[in-house]
């Protein structure tokens, strides 16, 4: 049993696929367990690498992804389904395929252990020690991949000690390094190859918005209450998008914050394409009143005033103040009280704002006549124990930026636990989810949940798995507190309506009208060909898997042009 470790995006999946190909060239049978992507993606990738027709039962798959997150999938003779949050189902699937193959010397590739670990916790160690070790003892081999920085360091150390060998893969400049940490037959060494010979997927792959539709959206947004006619208010409780964000970040504490930052900068900078299509009055405001450059304090003050009026005040994000006395040419400071992203996360040990810093940087980048690379970081935060949040904005990249984007997994786990405690206190005792003295718990939300998902397929996976984890955990906590399955479901669906996620109806299916996760996407993108409610679907799957071993699949979605979002039980 070999453990393959390394940071996200270093090429571990590519290594796993190459190992499978090498196995198949010697007619050695292989089982590929996919936990964070559809097995069809693995098949396509293997085909791109040169895999042609092979004998039946020489390569089989365990799909531990689609059922976990509620995605539709067709039956295939070479694939057995399992639930990523139920390690016993994966063990049964391994046994089933092993019996079907009827051979020893099988290669089992487990790509990856991240989702089972985050969904099942300590049970993973037992699974490694018993199920996989038994598989190895029967004359087979196992290759398991695991992300560094995901979870507790001591747990990764325990995984290493349970493995016969440990390989660490990383990238350095234009090369990929494979470090043999321990191996039963090879001494510790490092193998280096150029990265241009390594097939890798980018973590960040931002999709440009649909220009014409986004122009229409920008014009229409002047009357924001028209978007959700069937709801009493347009606002959404800030707890829901915060839960989605921090649950998904559990899957990748290092790369995802950087991806989110880049996508929000580009989204805000896109305003340069929108201004010419605005109504005449707004166009004149931008042309006549907006400075051509934001270096000077007096010019940045005008931009901040505009952002405060159309973003912070109108959308109830926070109470913003430009700190003129602290600012100087090309270095500006903004203070925000009651900032929605940080509310309820006091003293968690890290900065917690992820949208406003890149948003203000993107506005600067998009509205200046000569485009410059603006950046912003949070210098003070209620998450650090400060009474308010402050942000520094500069027209260049500065040393603190990358460090501010990376989040330690233990800090994210602390935040996730804080959110779970708040939620269970609300469900049982009706304690407030978010408390803001002046602005209240709601804010006007558009693309806060959907934009990062548009930017990266890997982030969509993280949203789905993050939803599954949070849904399963909160349902389990309710039942541990003495609630029956039906009452637990009722409380959780009531919570969705309380947060104004949408108008929820449970019968033979689950319907959510005006679902906030997907509603706004149709206003500024081309129509999606698949359901867009990544976190909501994962959350519902987690809830119903915990209360009754059921799963749901989204069959209708507003983003696809349907009148509401709907999930069927299966």
Terminus-to-terminus CA distance in the chain, angstroms? 35
pLDDT (mean) for 6-27: 90
pLDDT at 224: 45
Q: What angle do CA 562, 566, 567 make, to 5 degrees?
A: 145
pLDDT (mean) for 8-25: 90
pLDDT at 234: 63
Share above pLDDT 90 across residues of the chain, in percent, rounded to a whole number: 61
Categorise residue 316: left if φ over 0, alpha if ψ from -120 to 50, beta otherwise.
Answer: left
Task: Show the 3-state SS of 102-163.
Answer: CCCCCEEEEECCHHHHHHHCCHHHHHHHHHHHHHHHCCCEEEEEEECCCCCHHHHHHHHHHC
CA atoms within 13 A on the CB side of 460: 21
Instruction: Determine which of 246-255, 333-342, 496-505 has the lowest per-residue pLDDT on average.
Output: 246-255
Separation between Cα atoms, residue 247 and residue 236, nearest integer Å: 18
For residue 361, which of 300, 318, 403, 319 has the smallest C-alpha distance? 300
- The set of long-range contacts for 176-184, using a CB threshold of 8 Å and a minimum separation of 24, is 176/10, 176/11, 178/15, 183/2
Instruction: Determine which of 144-153, 177-186, 271-280, 379-388 has the lowest per-residue pLDDT on average.
Output: 271-280
pLDDT grade for 351, boundaries at 50, 70 and 90: very high
Structure tokens at 64: 């531990």
Strand partners for 319: 337
Sign of CA dihedral 536, 540, 541, 543: positive
Q: Does the structure show a pLDDT above 80 at 258? A: yes
pLDDT at 445: 81
**Which one is predicted more confidently, 456 or 64?**
64
Separation between Cα atoms, residue 208 and residue 215, nearest integer Å: 13
Structure tokens at 353: 């704002």
For residue 475, which of 486, 461, 464, 463 has the smallest C-alpha distance? 486
Categorise residue 71: left if φ over 0, alpha if ψ from -120 to 50, beta otherwise.
Answer: beta
Q: Does the structure show a pLDDT above 90 at 340? A: yes
pLDDT at 499: 94
pLDDT grade for 256, boundaries at 50, 70 and 90: confident
pLDDT at 525: 57
pLDDT at 35: 95
**Alpha helix segments (H runs only) across 250-324:** 255-269, 271-274, 280-284, 297-307, 314-315
Separation between Cα atoms, residue 14 and residue 111, nearest integer Å: 10
Q: What is the mean pLDDT of the chain?
A: 87
pLDDT grade for 309, boundaries at 50, 70 and 90: confident
Residue with tokens 């006395």: 325
Q: What's the DSSP call for residue 85?
A: T
pLDDT (mean) for 148-156: 87
3-state DSSP: the chain helix, strand, coil percent, rounded to 5? 45, 15, 35
pLDDT at 201: 44
Strand 30-34 versus strand 107-111 pairing type: parallel
Highest mean pLDDT among 292-301, 363-372, 398-407: 292-301
List of residues 6+ apart from 420 with CB closer than 8 A:
470, 473, 474, 477
173-222 confidence digits (pLDDT tens): 778 899 999 998 999 999 988 765 444 444 444 444 555 555 554 554 44
pLDDT at 263: 85
Highest mean pLDDT among 115-124, 233-242, 317-326, 557-566: 317-326
Separation between Cα atoms, residue 506 and residue 376, nearest integer Å: 44
CA distances from 114 to 16, 256, 477 (A): 15, 15, 22
For residue 264, which of 412, 448, 397 has the smallest C-alpha distance? 448
Q: Does the structure show a pLDDT above 70 at 523? A: no
Please provide residue 30's backbone torsions phi and psi, each rounded to the nearest 5 degrees. Answer: -140, 145
pLDDT (mean) for 271-295: 76
68-93 confidence digits (pLDDT tens): 998 878 889 999 999 998 999 999 99
What structural domains and CATH numbers belong to the chain?
2-197 (3.40.50.300)
Residue with tokens 């955990």: 473
Separation between Cα atoms, residue 151 and residue 154, nearest integer Å: 9
pLDDT at 561: 85
Element (H, E) at 79: strand 79-81
Q: Under a CB-based contact definition with an 8 Å cutoff, are residues 318 and 439 in contact?
A: yes
pLDDT at 30: 95
Separation between Cα atoms, residue 566 and residue 537, nearest integer Å: 10
Categorise residue 369: left if φ over 0, alpha if ψ from -120 to 50, beta otherwise.
Answer: alpha
DSSP string of 466-490, one letter each residue:
HHHHHHHHHHHHHHHTT--HHHHHH
287-304 confidence digits (pLDDT tens): 777 888 999 999 999 999
pLDDT at 127: 96
């Amino acid at each position: 049993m070999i453990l393959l470790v390394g940071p996200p995006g270093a090429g571990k999946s590519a290594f796993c696929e190459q190992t499978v190909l090498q196995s198949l060239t010697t007619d050695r049978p292989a089982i590929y367990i996919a936990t964070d992507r559809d097995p069809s993606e693995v098949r396509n990738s293997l085909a791109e690498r040169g895999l042609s027709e092979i004998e039946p039962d020489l390569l089989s798959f365990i799909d531990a992804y689609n059922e976990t997150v509620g995605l539709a999938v067709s039956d295939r003779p070479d694939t057995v389904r399992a639930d990523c949050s139920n390690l016993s189902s994966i063990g049964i699937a391994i046994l089933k395929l092993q019996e079907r193959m009827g051979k020893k010397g099988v290669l089992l590739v487990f790509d990856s252990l991240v989702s089972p670990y985050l969904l099942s916790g300590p049970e993973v160690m037992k699974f490694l020690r018993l199920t996989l070790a038994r598989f190895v003892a029967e004359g087979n081999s196992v290759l398991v991949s695991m992300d560094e920085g995901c979870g507790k360091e001591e747990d990764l150390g325990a995984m290493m000690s349970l493995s016969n060998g440990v390989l660490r893969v990383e990238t350095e400049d234009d090369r990929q390094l494979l470090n043999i940490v321990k191996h039963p037959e090879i001494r510790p060494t490092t193998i280096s190859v150029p990265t241009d010979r390594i097939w890798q997927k980018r973590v960040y792959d931002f999709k440009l918005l649909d220009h014409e539709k986004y122009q229409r959206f920008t014009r229409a947004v002047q009357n924001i209450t028209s978007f959700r006619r069937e709801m009493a208010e347009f606002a959404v409780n800030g707890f829901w998008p915060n839960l989605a964000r921090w649950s998904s970040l559990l899957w990748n504490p290092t790369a995802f914050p950087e991806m989110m930052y880049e996508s929000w900068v580009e989204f805000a900078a896109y305003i340069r394409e929108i201004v010419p299509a605005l109504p005449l009055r707004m166009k004149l405001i931008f042309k006549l009143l907006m400075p051509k450059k934001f270096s000077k304090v007096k010019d940045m003050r005008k931009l901040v005033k505009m952002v405060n009026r159309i973003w912070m005040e109108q959308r109830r994000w926070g109470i913003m103040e430009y700190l003129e006395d602290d600012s100087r040419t090309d270095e500006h400071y903004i203070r925000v009280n009651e900032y929605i992203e940080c509310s309820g996360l006091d003293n968690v040990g890290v900065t917690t704002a992820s949208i406003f810093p890149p948003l203000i940087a993107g506005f600067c980048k998009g509205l200046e006549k000569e485009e410059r690379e603006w950046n912003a970081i949070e210098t003070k935060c209620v998450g650090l124990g400060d009474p308010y949040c402050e942000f520094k904005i500069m027209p260049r990249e500065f040393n603190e930026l990358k460090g501010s984007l990376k989040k330690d997994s233990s800090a994210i786990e602390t935040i996730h636990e804080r959110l779970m405690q708040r939620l269970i206190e609300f469900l049982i005792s009706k304690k407030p989810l978010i408390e803001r003295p002046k602005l209240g718990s709601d804010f006007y939300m558009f693309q806060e949940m959907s934009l990062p998902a548009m930017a990266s397929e890997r982030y969509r996976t993280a949203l789905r798995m993050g939803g599954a984890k949070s849904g399963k955990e909160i349902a389990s906590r309710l039942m541990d507190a003495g609630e029956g399955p039906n009452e637990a479901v009722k409380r959780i669906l009531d919570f969705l309506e309380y947060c104004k996620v949408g108008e929820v109806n449970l019968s033979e299916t689950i319907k959510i009208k005006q679902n906030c996760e997907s509603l706004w996407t149709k206003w500024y993108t081309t129509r999606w060909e698949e359901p867009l409610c990544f976190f909501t679907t994962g959350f519902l799957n987690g809830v119903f898997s915990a209360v009754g071993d059921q799963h749901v699949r989204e069959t209708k979605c507003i983003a696809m042009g349907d009148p509401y979002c709907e999930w069927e039980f299966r």
